[in-house]
Structure 1
Amino acid sequence: MLEQIIAVLATWIMGVISALGYSGVVLLMAIESACIPLPSEIIMPFAGFLVFKGEMTLLGVALAGAIGCVVGSIPAYYLGMYGGRPLVEKYGKWVLISHKDLNWADQAFAKHGDLIIFVGRLLPAVRTFIAFPAGVARMNMTKFVLYTFVGSLTWCYLLAFAGFKMGENWESLKVYFHEFHYIIAGAGLIFVIWYVRRHFKH
């Protein structure tokens, strides 16, 4: 079932990029960064494949991807700030999020937000949703945009370069990146278990 969904998405993604070029990359990466799980592991390697075919440039697709990430992240950031934060403050206790946790997140993003955003943009799955908690924590907007762009440019360039190097075999990259998704999901599950146990202890 999952493979069928990915196949349909891949066909649609390839159609959008083939029709719109760089604008298509911007659009798709904006969707992916707006908390909508559209796989950049298909978007950017296919763009790299088009670089291999001579239809695009590597720097061009990387910049387009990074710009799209910034465009999609901004509404997700403000959604976290104006929508997510009041909900967390009012109902957070029902999902084991205390005001102490919220204060900790505020301090973490204030002190290390640049590193959190940069690293988060290099992690599959995490990169899709990282803008929302940054908004909840009210991270400095200038830093948020800057490190979103830098981290996304790095990610987009690496994926596009991999697609370029793989040439006609770019689709085989999807297997490896989706396996990495499972690793990230497993790490996330371990964190959730630890978090729940810690809060019930208190």
Structure 2
Amino acid sequence: MDTLLQLGDLLLHIDKHLDVVIQQYGPWAYGLLFAIVFAETGLVVAPFLPGDSLLFIAGAYCATEHFNIWTLCIGLLVAAIAGNTVNYFIGRWIGKRVFSSKSRWIDQGALLKTHAFYEKHGGKTIIVARFLPIIRTFAPFVAGVSEMNFSRFQLFNVTGALLWVFSLVIAGYFFGNIPVIRQNLNVIVLIGIGAAAIPVVLAALYKIFQRNKI
């Protein structure tokens, strides 16, 4: 039981215990990071896993040569793209059954509106969601449920993954070993989340205002 609790704590806070993981598992640490990013982006039951902070700290360890930055970035990129793709297909598999359902409990009109929204604004949503924990996990799932065009989804999936992985790993590489930043990483991550979320919220409020004005 204690072993399971320790393992759970390690997975949930691997960004804080990465030095221990590197010491104990060596090159296998790459695989663990890739698996966590894949699960966090690919499984709707795993939004609690670390994402932004993990990439940033991993970048910091690249600067100390514990990781190779190209191996890390390419592996994380593949994991992030694959995770979103799996999540999309899970949503699409479920979505087909929901769309074809005649249940009175399911609002087909709302589903069709969601589908239309993702066809029009889904690209921006997929990219911005990369920088928003929890939303990052559910965005590709909803895109699949709403049957967003797969080619279009993949275009923004790859674009978002590139921006997310490289921006955070490179930021960690250059700034992750500065003591004041390392000690206040949680606050910095929250500020980053706020910076990504505020434009989305303002855009939504503006559209609501315009709709009510009309």
Change (3 A) 1:77 1:182: same
SS at match of 1:138: coil
Whether 1:9 and 2:19 are equivalent positions in the alignment is no
Give the conservation status (yes or no) of the 8 Å contact 2:95–2:147.
no
- CA shift, 1:64, in A, is 2.2
- CA shift, 1:24, in A, is 3.0
- Aligned equivalents of 1:6, 1:27: Cα separation in 2: 16
Amino acid at match of 2:130: R
Give the conservation status (yes or no) of the 8 Å contact 1:76–1:135.
yes
Give the conservation status (yes or no) of the 8 Å contact 2:60–2:169.
yes
TM-score between the two structures when normalised by the length of structure 2: 0.68
Matching of residues 68-79 of structure 1 within 5 Å: 68-79=79-90
- The answer for unaligned runs of 5 or more in structure 2 is 1-7, 205-214
> Which of 47, 50, 58 in structure 1 is aligned with 2:61?
50
Where does residue 207 of structure 2 map in the other structure?
none
Where does residue 199 of structure 1 map in the other structure?
none
- Aligned equivalents of 1:116, 1:11: Cα separation in 2: 28
- CA shift, 1:181, in A, is 5.9
Whether 1:102 and 2:111 are equivalent positions in the alignment is yes
- CA shift, 1:29, in A, is 0.8
Where does residue 35 of structure 2 map in the other structure?
27
Amino acid at match of 1:80: G
Change (3 A) 1:6 1:114: same
- The answer for unaligned runs of 5 or more in structure 1 is 192-202
> Which of 132, 137, 162 in structure 2 is aligned with 1:123?
132
Where does residue 52 of structure 2 map in the other structure?
41
- Aligned equivalents of 1:93, 1:173: Cα separation in 2: 48
> Which of 93, 96, 119 in structure 2 is aligned with 1:82?
93
- CA shift, 1:163, in A, is 2.1
Change (3 A) 1:42 1:147: same
SS at match of 1:130: helix
Matching of residues 156-195 of structure 1 within 5 Å: 156-164=165-173, 165-167=175-177, 169=179, 170=182, 172-178=184-190
Paired residues in the alignment total 185
SS at match of 1:63: helix
Give the conservation status (yes or no) of the 8 Å contact 2:14–2:54.
no
Q: CA RMSD of the aligned region, Å?
A: 3.6
Change (3 A) 1:137 1:31: same
Give the conservation status (yes or no) of the 8 Å contact 1:80–1:135.
yes
Where does residue 196 of structure 1 map in the other structure?
none
Where does residue 136 of structure 1 map in the other structure?
145
- CA shift, 1:132, in A, is 0.5
Percentage of matched positions with identical amino acids: 24
- Aligned equivalents of 1:152, 1:158: Cα separation in 2: 10
- Aligned equivalents of 1:102, 1:11: Cα separation in 2: 38
Change (3 A) 1:181 1:86: farther
Give the conservation status (yes or no) of the 8 Å contact 2:14–2:50.
no
Amino acid at match of 1:172: N
What does the per-residue CA deviation read over 1:109-158, in whole Å, with 9 as the maximum and x for residues that have no partner? 22333222112223232112111101101122222223212212211222
- Aligned equivalents of 2:81, 2:95: Cα separation in 1: 19
Amino acid at match of 1:174: N
